[in-house]
């Protein structure tokens, strides 16, 4: 059974647009969505300033929703090593916030997330978005896949927790 009262924040960090979602476990293991959106960061700002804005935004989200758990997707090195390093900056900030708040961090690979949400580890971002919109019919189709990706990570973390208990 999912632990009632769990409020999980999942973040898909990026120096351009970070998708995030907040899911809540209610009585009888119901899962409801409290928020899903993204944080845009202007490329006219320095990387340091964007890291600081990202920190303040998610510090505020943790406080606003009284978050109990954090979920992230394991990143893999792509073509650009410097972008991978910059992704590390944002993950470092999230790990810092989680450690300060003593929140458990749940991490899943992209394959685990796609498998959990669509039933196949090789699903496309469109398939993930399609399933998320089916599972949350009142959700407005977001402009960016970053948002549906973040919801998928959050759902994967909650369902995984369910299987473990």
From 95, 133, 135, 139, residue interacting with its own copies (rule: CB under 8 A): 95
Looking at 29-37, 45-53, 123-131, 154-162, which segment touches its own copies (CB under 8 A)?
45-53
| Strand order, beta sheet including 69-73 | 31-40, 17-25, 7-12, 69-73, 105-108
Q: Do residues 108 and 160 lie in contact, with contact meaning Cβ atoms separated by under 8 Å? A: yes
Establish if 59 lies at the interface with its own copies (CB under 8 A): no
Residue 149 a catalytic site member: no
Q: 45-54: b or e for each residue (b if 16 or more CB lie within 10 Å)?
A: eeeeebbebb
Q: Do residues 19 and 147 lie in contact, with contact meaning Cβ atoms separated by under 8 Å? A: yes
Q: Which among 27, 49, 107, 146 is annotated as catalytic?
A: 146
Establish if 85 lies at the interface with its own copies (CB under 8 A): yes
Establish if 87 lies at the interface with its own copies (CB under 8 A): yes
Binding site for its own copies (CB under 8 A): 46-49, 51-52, 55, 75-77, 81, 84-93, 95-96, 98-100, 105
């Amino acid at each position: 059974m999912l632990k009632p009262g769990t409020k999980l924040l999942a973040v898909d960090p990026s120096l351009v647009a970070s998708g995030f979602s907040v899911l809540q476990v209610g009585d009888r293991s119901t899962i409801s969505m409290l928020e899903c959106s993204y944080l845009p960061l202007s490329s006219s700002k320095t990387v340091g300033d964007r890291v600081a804005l990202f920190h303040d935004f998610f510090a505020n989200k943790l406080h606003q929703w009284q978050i109990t758990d954090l979920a992230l997707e394991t990143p893999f090195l792509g073509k650009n090593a410097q972008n991978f390093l910059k992704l590390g900056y944002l993950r470092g900030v999230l790990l810092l916030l989680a450690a300060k708040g003593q929140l458990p961090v749940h991490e899943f690979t992209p394959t685990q997330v796609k498998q959990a949400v669509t039933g196949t580890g090789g699903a496309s971002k469109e398939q993930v978005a399609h399933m998320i919109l089916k599972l949350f019919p009142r959700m407005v189709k977001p402009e960016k896949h970053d948002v549906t990706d973040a919801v998928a990570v959050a759902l994967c973390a909650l369902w995984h927790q369910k299987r473990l208990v």
